[in-house]
Amino acid sequence: MGKELITSFKKHKESYDICLEQHIASYEDYDELHFLNSELGFYQICYETANVTHQRIIIYNDEYTEYEYRYMNEFEYNEINQIDSNINQNSDVMKLIIDESKLMTNGYDIEICEQLTTSFTKITEYLNIKKKKLTNDNEFKNIKFHGNQTEFIELIKALTENGNLKGIQKDNIEICANFFGIEINNPSKLLNDIKTRNSGSESLFIDKLRKSLFDYITLEKKK
């Protein structure tokens, strides 16, 4: 059975956990790292396939005057720009020249290719972040927030409003969620739920934290 090609970053992110479970279930020695490496290899190929350019490449030599026309990808384009421009024209060495006067689409929908290139770039960046987080050996690797999503949002919202966390609220939530290993599915709804709480229950989690700290200090003073 062939691998499903997901062409948008949003859908790939939403289906990550399901695809991971299916991958691990397919063979007993597979794990998340194997899944990430497999995905990275797959979407790197997808990126290279989608990333066409308008420029055409002409390959020829002086003896046979043979020409080959095709589209080149980003990597070939960069390599060509690095070729010494002083190659001896009388040698038998193959010479590469970009013919910018003969731009053609050759059946490619350039707009769709650019969209796919953008999506595949975001997917590979996301996978690399996941892989780095998984293989990170620093002292914080086991830190995890063990409360629920609403409690987490309440905490981050309080820190943001108090000025302890600077920057954009949405970014603060995403960065902190990644650091503490918690998935936040719909932060806007969770924030709205907090705002519509009944009077006296606006800060349930913050109040719980306050009580926990107060109880700790009280016990310590009695020792």
Q: Write out the H or E segment, with its range, that includes residue 215.
A: helix 204-222
Query: Average per-residue pLDDT in the chain?
Result: 77
pLDDT digits (tens, 9 = 90+) for 141-169: 557 899 999 999 999 999 998 889 888 88
CA–CA separation, 209 and 189 (whole Å): 23
Residue type at position 100 = E
- Kindly compute the dihedral angle of the four CA atoms of residues 180, 185, 190, 192, in this order, to the nearest 10 degrees: 130
Which residue type sits at 187?
P
Q: Is 145 strand, coil or helix?
A: coil
By three-state DSSP, how is residue 194 classified? helix
Per-residue pLDDT of the chain (223 residues), as tens digits, is 457 789 999 999 999 999 999 999 999 999 999 999 999 999 988 888 887 654 444 444 444 444 444 444 555 555 545 544 444 444 443 444 444 433 444 556 778 888 888 999 999 999 998 888 887 654 455 578 999 999 999 999 999 988 898 888 888 898 898 888 888 988 999 999 898 888 777 889 999 999 999 999 999 988 7
User: What is the distance between the alpha carbons of residues 129 and 211, in angstroms, rounded to a whole number?
Assistant: 37
Q: What is the DSSP string of 3-58?
A: PP----HHHHHHTHHHHHHHHHHHSTT--HHHHHHHHHHHHHHHHHHH-EEEEEEE
Tens digits of per-residue pLDDT, 81-92? Answer: 554 444 444 444
Whole-structure pTM value? 0.44
